[in-house]
Amino acid sequence: MTIILLLIPIVLMLGLLGVVAFIWSVKSGQYNDLDADRYRILEDHDKPLSREEAMLHRRLTSFDDE
Amino acid sequence: MSDPASLLPSSEFQYKPFVRRLDDGMETLTCTLEGVRCGSCIQRIEDAVSSIPGVIAVRANATTHRMRLVWQAGEVQPETLLQKISALGFKPTPFNPDQMKQNARQHKEQLLLALGVAAFGMVMLMGFSYSVWAGLALDMGDNTRTLMHWLSALIALPVSAVAGRPFFTSAWKGLRHGQVNMDGPISFAVLMTLAASVAETVRGGEHVYYDAAISLLFFLLIGRVLEAGIRQNAGSAVDNLLALSGGIARKILPDGSILDIRDDELRLGDAVLVASGNHFPADGLVEDHACEVDESLITGETRPRLIKPGEKLVAGTLNLGQAVKMRVTAVDKDTRLAQIAELMERAEQHKGRHQILADRFAVYYAPAVFILSLLGLLVWRFGIGASWHEAVMIAVAVLVVTCPCAVGLATPVVMVGTVGQLMRKGIIVKSSDSLERLAEINGVVFDKTGTLTHGKPELQRVSSQELSGDFSVSLKQAASLTCNSTHPLAKALTSSCPTHAAPNVKEHPGLGLSQQGAEGETKLGSSRFCNISDEERQKWDTGAEDKELQELWFRIPGKTPVRFTFRDEIRGDAKQTVMSLKKSGLDVFMLSGDRANVTEKIAKEIGIEEWQGQCLPEDKVLFLQKHRLIGYKTLMVGDGINDAPALAAAHVSMSPSSASDISQVSADMIFQGEDLASIKSTYELAKRSMRLVKQNLGFAVLYNIITVPLALAGGLTPLIAALLMSSSSIVVMLNALRIRSA
């Protein structure tokens, strides 16, 4: 039964990971516009953005002042 | 056209004042979007615009109906982008994002975070609790059980700090202002339960209620998130309107050139050019020539007024004539419009004091719960002689079982269903308590112009007959003259008989239209303009009532003059709607800014006995306040700027989506389309939803009657508590779904 001394911390860690991931997703605005995001995944982007371009795009289009 | 200023090109999209510079030579613009129906519209816009060279980023939001554009200055003109979007079928309107309020979205985000954390907590705690329940049956050792309890405490305490925050802060705020709301008992129950559970854990005891406390928070948060969703959707629609009402003014600089600036940048003494069909951006005096002005938004008066040079103009009224130069005499807070807005804000304050049913319920519920709990404590300790510890556990059991899950969920789940149904019918509801207020009304007050009538003149008769034979030829000819005029009577003619524009038509503001032809001058306008003699007038005069109608005379050289009469037509379903409202037991009234005799006639035709004409916005507010004192709870339905204060002063208000921006902001509900029947159906739905809410609350009381004795008798365990809590919530939610079968 002492196995639970190992299992419980693992469970807590995993749970914590889940909570942190959830908090991050809400704070990064992923729940702001569920209607449009459903369709955005269907978009065809022929040229993938470079890392800098992607970061710039994120910064420019986040509706922070809403 | 003699006025050179009216020949100046004006951009279809007035965006320049709203463009902002970013670093690296980038420029950005934020717009509201009209015509977005779904997410795929967003995709089309983004695809189309991002393929234009020079565009750096474009992102459209389907929830708030807004769009952000970023481009490299010089490589592409914003105009190109806006035209592209417009060509796709969406109307972009640039605005200043600083005017936006962001509360609704942030609030929803906070609640969503609390919900997620509560969900995590509940799942983890259930894991531990289940192991204890199973363990107790299978002979789990005391030390293991205590370990489980400590682990539960480790999770429950931080989780409740995050998930409970919305309730604790709301209860605290309420307490400070002396108001009781549902969050008081909820916070008390959660905190007491956690405290007692910790004490029990320290003792190494058997019954702890961590999962019950967190589950309670979880269920209640579901209701709150749903309600916040309602507010977010309605909130952004309203905020978009606020953005639109900040418009552009065309300032005339000393050297004669024109500069487009924002309305709020106007100063006293500025000269402004107001084109035909545009609203006057500030109060002022006419400078160059007379113009016809439509004041109906401000006063409700349907007839346009001719304003001569040197006379006053009011901000918000519409210029019907040619472009006119105006000297600003009042801006911002000093304009008549601002006075109306202030009247509106003062009238609105009474709404904040309205307590929703659930909160009124809490006023009795909270003390009752507290007393029962205390009773249990005292009876067990002193009556039965149990130890302090046992007595406290009984008290906690009562707190847990009177769990206000059913009460806390009773209203939100019903309201979400109701609002959803109304949204599908095209009715926007701004908050769930406006539905509660709607269910309470005993009287309805209608504005006349634009609400019960269409708000614009329509062709009623040609001479003394309905359109037929010879006269329809005259109508077609007259309509060919009116094609390009923005005067309401001219527009009425054009819409009743669409045809090609005749060449060489000259407009004389305040008088009429003329066309020089081979046989002489054809004239369309007032009887003076067309030189109608008394005997010619007699020919078509059919009685006294004719004098009140608006008319246009049409003189073709060599033929008998034709007379067109116009009326602001009553909406098709007005009479029926009023009748059905009366049948529901509601008293119906009508208020109007128009002349008394016109108002009386319309009232008689629709079937409204009590009416009042020549009302200024202040008069409408007074009427509503007077009726409130004699016990009326009124629904106000109106559309013009002159109705906005009344919409705020009524118990609850509705506005058609064709209404002015300020009215839509002021009203509690907005209905699309032309049907007044929406009013009746919304009222019926509101009443039904309140019935369901009361049923839910009644169920909560019944549930307590059954379970509190159980708790007082000491028969409650955490397992039973968890089961009761979940089942009561489910029953309440299932009952709420019955709104769909309305």
- Give the ipTM: 0.83
> Could B64 and A34 be called an inter-chain contact, meaning their C-beta atoms sit closer than 8 Å?
no
Same domain, B444 and B580: yes
Phi then psi for residue B588, to 5 deg, are: -115, 135
Chain A 7-66, residues with CB within 8 Å of chain B CB atoms: 8, 11-12, 15, 18-19, 22-23, 26-27, 31-40, 42-44, 56-57, 60-61, 63, 65-66
Query: Is there a domain that residue A6 lies in?
Result: yes
Asked if B125 has any chain A CB less than 8 Å from its own CB, the reply is no
Judging contacts by C-beta atoms under 8 Å, the chain A residues touching residue B40 are: 39
In a domain, B31, yes or no: yes
Residue of chain B whose Cα is closest to the Cα of A17: B120
pLDDT digits (tens, 9 = 90+) for A16-54: 999 999 999 998 888 877 777 777 777 776 777 788 877
* Identity of the residue in B62, B112, B117 whose CB atom sits nearest the CB atom of A35: B62
**Domain range holding B558?**
458-567
Residues on chain B touching A37 (C-beta within 8 angstroms): 39
Distance CA B668, CA B638 (A): 11
| B30: nearest CA partner in chain A | A63
- Asked which of B538, B567, B596 is the last residue of a domain, the reply is B567
**Of B567, B600, B622, which residue sits at a domain end?**
B567
Interface test with A, best of B113, B145, B236 (most A CBs within 10 A): B113
Residue among A22, A32, A44 minimizing CB distance to B116: A22
Name the residue facing A19 among B64, B112, B120 (closest C-beta): B120
Q: Please answer whether residues B120 and A19 qualify as being in contact, where contact means their C-beta atoms are separated by less than 8 angstroms.
A: yes
Interface contact B116, partner A, CB < 8 A: yes
Q: CB contact, 8 Å: B130 with chain A?
A: no
Residues B76 and B169 in one domain: no
Closest-CA distance, A53 to chain B, in angstroms, reads 9
Q: DSSP class of residue B507?
A: E
Residues of A in contact with B158 (CB under 8 A): none
- B25–chain A nearest CA distance, Å: 14
Distance in Å, alpha carbon of B61 to nearest chain A alpha carbon:
6
B125 in Cβ contact with B211 (< 8 Å): yes
Closest residue in A to B100 (Cα–Cα)? A66
Residue B5: its pLDDT value, please? 31
What's the pLDDT score for residue B11? Answer: 45
Cβ B62–A19 below 8 Å, yes or no? no
Of all residues in chain B, the one with the smallest CA distance to A34 is: B63
Domain containing A22 equals 2-44
Phi/psi of residue B436, each to 5°?
-65, -40
Give the CATH number, domain containing residue B274: 2.70.150.10
Asked whether residue B131 falls in the same domain as residue B230, the answer is yes
Number of separate domains in chain A: 1
The token duo for A20 is: 């942190």
pLDDT (0 to 100) of residue B243 = 59
In whole angstroms, give the CA distance from residue B515 to residue B477: 11
A35–B97 CB contact, under 8 Å: no
- What is the dihedral sign for C-alpha B374, B376, B382, B386? negative
Confidence at residue B9, expressed as pLDDT on a 0 to 100 scale:
33
Query: Residue B154 and residue B197: Cα distance in Å, rounded?
Result: 12
- Pick the residue from chain A with its C-alpha nearest to B57: A57
CA distance B408 to chain A (A): 25
CB B447, CB B638: distance < 8 Å: yes
A56 belongs to a structural domain: no
Q: Which residue among B56, B63, B113 places its CB closest to the CB of A32?
A: B63
Q: What's the confidence (pLDDT) of residue B236? A: 63
pLDDT of residue B465: 53
Would an 8 Å CB–CB cutoff place B379 in contact with chain A?
no
Q: Say whether both B170 and B283 belong to one domain.
A: no
B241 lies in a domain?
no
* Contact between B42 and A43 using a beta-carbon 8 Å cutoff: no
Q: Among A12, A42, A65, select the one facing B102 at the smallest CB separation.
A: A65
Assigned domain for A49 exists: no
- Flag whether A63 is in a domain: no
**Residue B182 pLDDT:** 72
Chain segment B186-234, per-residue pLDDT in tens: 888 889 889 989 998 998 888 888 988 998 899 889 888 887 877 776 6
Based on the domain organization, do B8 and B21 belong to the same domain? yes
Same domain, yes or no: B502 and B594: no
| Catalytic center residues of B | 447
pLDDT-flagged residues of chain B (< 50): 1-11, 466-467
Determine, yes or no, domain membership for A55.
no
In DSSP terms, which residues pair with B29 in a beta bridge? B69
The 8-class DSSP code of residue B465 comes to B
Cβ contacts (< 8 Å) between B132 and chain A: which residues? none
- Cα-based angle B488, B492, B495 (whole degrees, multiple of 5): 130
Burial class (CB in 10 A: 0-12, 13-18, 19+), B719: middle
Rounded-to-integer distance, Cα B252 and Cα B684, Å: 53
Residues of B in contact with A54 (CB under 8 A): none
Q: What local confidence, expressed as pLDDT, does residue B180 receive?
A: 66
Select from B662, B683, B704 the last residue of a domain.
B683
**Number of domains making up chain B:** 6
Domain co-membership, B103 together with B227? yes
Chains A and B: how many Cβ contacts under 8 Å?
A: 101
User: Strands B291-294 and B305-307, how do they pair?
Assistant: antiparallel
H or E element in which residue B59 lies: strand B55-61
In a shared domain, residues B212 and B125: yes
Considering the domain architecture, whether residues B671 and B733 belong to the same structural domain is answered as no
B107 touches chain A (CB under 8 A): no
Instruction: List CB contacts (< 8 A) between B59 and chain A.
Output: 60-61, 63
**Residues in chain B within 8 Å Cβ distance of A19:** 116-117, 120
* B112 in the same domain as B13: no
**Residue B239 belongs to a domain:** no
